[in-house]
Structure 1
Amino acid sequence: MFHQVHKGLRAMLYETALCLQHTEFDDAVQARESLAQLQEVIYLFNKHAHSEDTYVFPAVEKFEPSVADAFEQEHVKDHELGELLDQAIAACEAATGVAARLEAGRHVQEAFIAFMLFNLEHMAKEESVINPILHRYYQDHELHAITQQIVSAIVPEDMARFSRWMIRGLHNAEISQWLKEAELHAPEPAFQQLFQSVEKELSAVRFRQVLEKMTDGAMMA
C-alpha cells in the first residue's frame, strides 16, 4: 500500500536535507530555491496525509479503531510540525541583513530536521503496523480498489509532482514494473507522460537499464 509513494517521499526528504546543508542563507538566490523546495515538501506531505486520512485510515478503523486513532493523532502532530516549518520559512523570507538571514536559516534547518525525523519514523510505523492490518482484513483486489480511489482523487498536476519523486526514489526494477503496469492499464496519454518523466529524471545509463528490464534484456526500438 505504501511502498512506492513512501520511497518517493523519503527521496524528497533526503534530497531536501542535502540541499539545506549546501545552502548559504545569506545568498538570496540559494535561500529562495531552498525555501521553495521546503514548501514543496510541506505541500506533498499534506496531500499524502489527506489521502491516508480519507481512504486508508477509515479502512483500518473498521477493524482496529484504536490503531486508526493513534495514527490520526500522529497526523495531527505532523501537521503541527509542518506549520512550524512553514513559520520558519516565512521568518527566513522576511529576514534582512546577513546575521539575521543566517540565524533564520538555522531555524529553518532545525524545523526541517524535526519534520524529517518525525515523518521517517511515522512512515516506517505505517509500513510495519498499518500494512499487516490491511492485508489481514482485506483481499488484494480490495486493497487495489483503495489504491485506485487514492490515485483517482489526485489531480494530474499533483500526480506529476509525486511521480517525479517516486522515480527518484525507486530502483530500476521497480520503475520498469511501474512502466509495464502503466502500459497495460493506464490510458495512453498517462503512460506516455510517465515514460517521458522517467526519461527526464533518470540518467541516460539508468534509463537504458530500465528499458532493458521492460523488454527482458532486449532494447526497445
Structure 2
Amino acid sequence: MNKPRINMYAGIHKALRNFMSDTQARLSRTDAADNDDLQGALAQVRELLSMMRKHLQHEHDFVHPAMNARRRGSAQVAEGDHDHHDWAIDKLLALCDHCASAIGAARFQHLDHLHLQLSVFVGENLVHMNLEETEHNAVLWACYSDEELHAIHERILAVIPPEEMQATMRWMIPALNPAERAGMLLGMRAGMPPPVFEGVLAMARSLISERDAAKLDAALAAPPALAA
C-alpha cells in the first residue's frame, strides 16, 4: 500500500468546515429578541470570517506561489474565488453590524438576511475547498516532493501567531478522526516543551468525547512504531 501524500489542506479544511457548520446552525436558531443570544451569535460569525480571511491570506502567500512557480496559472481559478470570498466577507461583516444596531422588526429581518447570505458563503466555500483538495493537490503532488510540501507547510505554520493557532485548534481537534488527531498531537509533542504540550493535550481532551480521549491517550502511550 502506497504511503499517503502530504495533504496541506486536510486538517485546516476540516476545521473550517466544522466552524462554518456550527456557526450556520447557531445563527439559524438565534433569537433576535434576546440581545445576549444575538450578540453572541454575531461574535461567532465575526470570528469565523476573521479565520476565513486569514486562511485565504496564508494560501495566497504560500500555496498559490508554489503552484504557479512550477505550473504557471494553476492557481488562477482559486485566486479569482479568493477575491470573491474577500468581497463576501466584507459584505457579511457589514450585515453583522446592521443586525447588531437594528431594533424591533428590522432586527429580525436583518438576522434572516444574514443567515441566508452566510449560507451562500458556506456553500461557495465548500465547493472551493473541494477544488483545492482535488485539483490543487494533484498539481502539488505532481510538482513537489513530500519533503518540499512539508517545508511549505512549516513556513505557513511559522507565521501563525499563538492566539490564531489556538483558535484554529478549537475547531480542528474535534473535526479530525482518531488517527489524524493522534498524528497531529504526536507531532506537537515532538516539537514542544512538555509543559506546553500538556496544555495543548488538556485542551484537546476537553473538546472530544471520552471514547475519543481514550483512543488519543492510547496512541500517545504506544511505542513509536505502534503509534505510527
Short-chain TM bin? over 0.9
| Structure 2 residue 163 is the aligned partner of structure 1 residue 157 | yes
Which deviates the most, 190-199 or 146-155? 190-199
Match of 2:17 in 1: 10
Deviations along 1:117-144, whole A, 9 cap, x unmatched? 1111111100011111111111111100
The 5-angstrom pairing of residues 124-139 of structure 1 reads 124-139=130-145
Structure-2 change in CA distance of 1:48 and 1:182 (3 Å): same
List runs of 5+ in structure 2 lacking aligned partners. 1-7, 224-228
In the TM superposition, residue 65 of structure 1 has moved relative to its aligned partner by 2.5
Whole-Å separation in 2 of the counterparts to 1:150 and 1:193: 22
| Structure 2 residue 71 is the aligned partner of structure 1 residue 64 | yes
Runs of 4+ in 1 over 6 A off after TM superposition: none
Match of 1:121 in 2: 127
User: Secondary structure of the residue that 2:75 maps to in structure 1?
Assistant: helix
In the alignment, is the contact (CA less than 8 A) between 2:74 and 2:139 conserved in 1? no
Aligned length, in residue pairs: 216
In the TM superposition, residue 21 of structure 1 has moved relative to its aligned partner by 1.8
Structure 2 counterpart of 1:29, one-letter code: D
Structure-2 change in CA distance of 1:74 and 1:192 (3 Å): same
The alignment's C-alpha RMSD in Å is: 1.5
User: Secondary structure of the residue that 2:32 maps to in structure 1?
Assistant: coil
**Counterpart pick for 2:91 among 84, 87, 90:** 84
In the alignment, is the contact (CA less than 8 A) between 1:60 and 1:68 conserved in 2? yes
In the alignment, is the contact (CA less than 8 A) between 2:18 and 2:171 conserved in 1? yes
Which deviates the most, 201-210 or 32-41? 201-210
User: Secondary structure of the residue that 1:67 maps to in structure 2?
Assistant: coil
Match of 2:29 in 1: 22
In the TM superposition, residue 190 of structure 1 has moved relative to its aligned partner by 4.2
In the TM superposition, residue 216 of structure 1 has moved relative to its aligned partner by 4.3
Structure 1 counterpart of 2:28, one-letter code: Q
Structure 1 counterpart of 2:135, one-letter code: V
User: Secondary structure of the residue that 1:62 maps to in structure 2?
Assistant: helix
Structure 1 counterpart of 2:115, one-letter code: Q
- Identity, % of aligned positions: 29
In the alignment, is the contact (CA less than 8 A) between 2:32 and 2:111 conserved in 1? yes
TM-score, normalised to structure 1, is 0.93
Structure-2 change in CA distance of 1:126 and 1:190 (3 Å): farther
Match of 2:200 in 1: 194
| Structure 2 residue 154 is the aligned partner of structure 1 residue 148 | yes
In the TM superposition, residue 215 of structure 1 has moved relative to its aligned partner by 2.9
Match of 1:182 in 2: 188
TM-score, normalised to structure 2, is 0.90
Which deviates the most, 175-184 or 85-94? 175-184
In the alignment, is the contact (CA less than 8 A) between 1:177 and 1:214 conserved in 2? no
Whole-Å separation in 1 of the counterparts to 2:205 and 2:186: 15
List runs of 5+ in structure 1 lacking aligned partners. none
In the TM superposition, residue 73 of structure 1 has moved relative to its aligned partner by 1.1
